[in-house]
Amino acid sequence: MASKSNYHHGDLRRVLLAAAEEELSEKGGEAFSLRRVAKRAGVSHGAPAHHFKDSRGLLTELAAVGYQRFIEAQQRRQQDAATDAESQLAASGLGYIDFASANPALFRLMFSSERPDKESPVLSKSADAAFEKLVNEVARISKTDPYCDQRAMTDVVAAWTISHGLADLLIADRLSRFSFLADMNATDRDAIFSELILRACTVRSS
């Protein structure tokens, strides 16, 4: 059920998404080829059209599942962190960075590419979920509803911006300039990143 066994090929849709993700991480988003994805899935070059309108459709769907895994990466960090509101926000940011490091091409597809259709309901809903998660985390700190509190919403911008900037510069290999960071062990580096994320928030629970 949901994933039936063998109808011509089985669940080609799922296989194509998996193959597309492989293609993405191996070749990068700019060299992505739909025909190679089909070949990777062991199927003819015309087969994907029966499951996705075109390559844009496939990438849109892939970006959507990306957001779900994105949220999971954040949750993994949050489970290992202290439960106070600020530690949880910092952990969320570290998860943001984890995800980007582990899936740079997918991250770029989600945040910097024109190829996915951002109007697609499945994609926009997934992206909205990630955004609402961030709003809730800042709300826990400010103890207000950011949608009614501009100061808190500004912190949402700030926390997002810092996390995103770190993630994007990291996968662009721009942070390797900073030897004090590059030579650091993971734990110490996380501490620095956490501090930077919390610097951005002025609406503390105090």
Partner DNA sequence: TATTGATCTTGACATTGTCTAGATACTGGG
Partner DNA sequence: CCCAGTATCTAGACAATGTCAAGATCAATA
Cβ proximity of 75 and 67 under 8 Å: no
Instruction: Tell me which residue of 53, 48, 56, 54 sits closest to 18, measured CA to CA.
Output: 48
Beta carbon of residue 28, minimum distance to its own copies (angstroms, whole number): 5
> Does the footprint of its own copies cover residue 124 (CB under 8 A)?
no
**198: Cβ contacts below 8 Å, ≥ 6 apart:** 86, 89, 90
Q: Give the Å distances, CA to CA, from 29 to 90, 105, 108, 115, 117.
A: 29, 5, 8, 10, 15
Stretch that binds its own copies, among 10-18, 39-47, 69-77, 174-182 (CB under 8 A): 174-182
List the x/- string, 9-48, binding to DNA by CB under 7 A: xx-x-------------------xxxxx-x----xxxxx-
Comparison of 49 and 158: residue with beta carbon closer to its own copies? 158
**Partner from DNA, its own copies, none contacting 163, C-beta within 5 to 8 A by type:** its own copies
Beta carbon of residue 108, minimum distance to DNA (angstroms, whole number): 16
Binding site for DNA (CB under 7 A): 6-10, 12, 32-36, 38, 43-47, 49-51, 54-56
Binding site for its own copies (CB under 8 A): 28, 30-31, 108, 111-115, 118, 131, 150, 153-154, 156-158, 160-166, 168-169, 172-175, 177-178, 180-181, 192, 196, 199-200, 202
